[in-house]
């Protein structure tokens, strides 16, 4: 996921300042999650990486010779230097590897101003043995250190690659915050688009009293054969009411696509309101069932 760092909360308690530094890594393995999404397992040469579940790292496109022409062109067109891209980590701090899960971004007329630069290379042209320089780690989309005193129920509401940081948070909390119960609501178009499907099933089997996973599929022709964890349609207030017995007591971590800057500009030029995307619709449903705004933390991209 490439997050837009506008996380809002229920803000975590202030943390000690972390040193952001460059780290040279080697791609130890590439795992295909969906047809357009890969997880890159990165070997760092050390097992003493200080980060929190939900953090992101950044990758500078200037390090790739294969992108040199495109990077230079974009800088000429935009009149500014191409910035590093941010990718949420799908690994949790207690795991023995660093992992990012990257979805290949697509150019959509009217929704994105420029074609994607880095994600196609990371997904389609990155193999074992490749070396990457990453910069990490930071980001506000993390659990507060005293989360167990705030709630016993964490509701994850995610879509597409928005599952990435929540998957890391889930793995960490199941291991280190045993008092928390999790409901993981994940929205996608089809079954083939679901990231971490098997690992989530395995976690639910290992922690049946602590984790409930529900997938909503908007374009899957028939979900009736997929089991009780799959629903047809979008995340809505009716589904959340079913899953959240006490909306005022839970904490919500929501991550997924939101209306982007280019979409807002395109709609404004037409004298229209931009069409809500997942994040706007999901947050409206969360508010409708009665979750206080200060108990909702968000991270969006778009």
Q: Write the pLDDT tens digit of every residue in 81-92.
A: 999 999 999 999
- Please tell me the class of the 147-301 domain: alpha beta
Confidence of residue 3 (pLDDT cuts 50, 70, 90): low
Q: Under CATH, which number does the domain 4-138 receive? A: 2.40.30.10
Q: Which of 108-117, 156-165, 259-268, 272-281 has the highest mean pLDDT?
A: 156-165
Q: What is the pLDDT of residue 46?
A: 79
Q: 0.75 exceeded by the pTM? A: yes
Mean pLDDT (the chain) is 92
Beta carbons of 254 and 157 less than 8 angstroms apart: yes
Q: Write the pLDDT tens digit of every residue in 169-181.
A: 999 999 999 999 9
Rounded to the nearest 5 degrees, what angle is found at the Cα of 184, between the Cα atoms of 178 and 185? Answer: 165
Say what percent of the chain tops pLDDT 70: 92
For the record, the structure tokens of 272 come out as 């229209």
Q: Which of 137-146, 219-228, 248-257, 270-279 bottoms out in mean pLDDT, i.e. has the lowest?
A: 270-279
Say what percent of the chain tops pLDDT 90: 80
Residue with token string 């976690």: 203
Confidence of residue 77 (pLDDT cuts 50, 70, 90): very high
Residue with token string 């696509």: 257
Start-end of CATH 3.40.50.80 domains in the chain: 147-301
Start-end of CATH 2.40.30.10 domains in the chain: 4-138
Question: Exposure pattern of 144-164 as b/e (b: 16+ CB <10 Å)?
Answer: beebeeebebbbbbbbbbbbb
Q: Write the pLDDT tens digit of every residue in 169-214.
A: 999 999 999 999 999 999 999 999 999 999 999 999 999 999 999 9
Q: What is the dihedral of CA 120, 121, 125, 130, to 10 degrees?
A: -150
């Amino acid at each position: 996921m490439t997050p837009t760092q506008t996380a809002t909360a229920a803000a975590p308690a202030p943390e000690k300042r972390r040193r952001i530094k460059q780290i040279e890594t080697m791609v130890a393995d590439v795992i295909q999650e969906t047809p357009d999404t890969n997880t890159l397992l990165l070997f760092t040469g050390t097992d003493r990486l200080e980060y929190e579940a939900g953090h992101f790292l950044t990758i500078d496109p200037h390090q790739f010779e294969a992108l040199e022409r495109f990077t230079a062109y974009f800088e000429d067109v935009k009149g500014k230097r191409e910035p590093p891209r941010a990718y949420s980590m799908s690994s949790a701090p207690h795991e023995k590897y660093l992992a990012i899960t990257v979805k290949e971004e697509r150019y959509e007329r009217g929704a994105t101003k420029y074609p994607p630069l880095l994600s196609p290379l990371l997904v389609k042209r990155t193999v074992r043995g490749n070396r990457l320089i990453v910069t990490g780690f930071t980001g506000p989309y993390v659990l507060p250190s005293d989360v167990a005193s705030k709630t016993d129920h964490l509701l994850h509401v995610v879509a597409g690659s928005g599952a990435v940081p929540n998957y890391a948070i889930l793995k960490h909390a199941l291991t280190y915050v045993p008092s928390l119960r999790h409901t993981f609501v994940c929205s996608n178009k089809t079954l083939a688009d679901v990231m971490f499907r098997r690992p989530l099933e395995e976690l639910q089997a290992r922690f049946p009293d602590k984790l409930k996973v529900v997938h909503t599929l908007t374009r899957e022709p028939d979900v009736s054969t997929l089991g009780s964890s799959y629903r047809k349609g979008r995340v809505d207030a009716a589904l959340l009411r079913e899953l959240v017995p006490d909306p005022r007591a839970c904490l919500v971590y929501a991550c997924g696509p939101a209306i982007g800057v280019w979409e807002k500009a395109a709609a404004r030029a037409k004298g229209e309101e931009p069409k809500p995307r997942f994040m706007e619709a999901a947050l409206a449903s969360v508010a409708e069932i009665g979750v206080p705004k200060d108990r909702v933390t968000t991270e969006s991209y778009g």
